[in-house]
Amino acid sequence: MDTKTDLRVIKTRRAIKSAFLQLIQKKSLDKITVTELAKAAEINKGTFYLHYSDVYALYYELLQEQVEKIAAHSTYYEQMLNNPEAFVRGFFIRTSDTLPDAGAVLFSPQNIRFCENVFSMIVDAIIENIFNAGIIERTELNIMKLQFLIDGMFLQFSRCAAKMDNEPVQIEEEMVQYLASQIRYSFSS
């Protein structure tokens, strides 16, 4: 029996995730127990452990899914080489879009502290989507260039967002021009 496509497995995982998202909106990740999660999902604890090692593994999976969903819905990737200014602006604007409530609570400071590599998770998802858009060939050198660029852009985004106090992130034109010039330089033939 293939556990990836078995309908019972799909329904059970859906119930676990749904119950978890309901609980995490009421309390922080470290306060959620497998017992209360299993009860909310209407399963037993043993069933939970067949799918996840603990609530942190479940949280990590949901966070990864949310990051991939956000990265996949961005439309600015195609502009990276033809219009790098639009790419940079799109990166800062789209990255600051409001998450749905369930997604926002996953990224809240009280919960995100339990995922040490969320920064890498986000950067990797963005880079993967750039390659999937087919605008840059996947080579070790291009992976390294994108990691430097996207790491730097995301770090700058994080700094700008911290200053904005829940306001939309603003990026100065000088920064847009600098980042665009780095993209042109890094990927010019």
The tens digit of pLDDT for each residue in 29-38 reads 999 999 999 9
pLDDT, residue 96, reads: 47
Residue 46 has pLDDT above 80, yes or no: yes
Q: Which residues contact 169 (CB under 8 A, 6 or more apart)?
A: 92, 93, 95, 96, 157, 160, 161
pLDDT, residue 98, reads: 46
Residue that wins the pLDDT comparison between 171 and 153: 153
Contacts 24+ apart (CB under 8 A), 129-135: 129/71, 129/72, 129/74, 129/77, 130/77, 130/80, 133/77, 133/78, 133/80, 135/77, 135/78, 135/80, 135/81
Residue 166 has pLDDT above 70, yes or no: no
**Residue ranges covered by each domain of the chain:** 7-52, 67-187
pLDDT, residue 60, reads: 93
The tens digit of pLDDT for each residue in 68-127 reads 888 887 778 888 999 999 998 888 775 545 455 566 778 777 777 788 888 888 889 999
CATH architecture of 7-52: Orthogonal Bundle (1.10)
Instruction: Output the pTM of the full model.
Output: 0.77
The tens digit of pLDDT for each residue in 123-158 reads 899 999 999 989 899 999 999 999 999 998 888 877
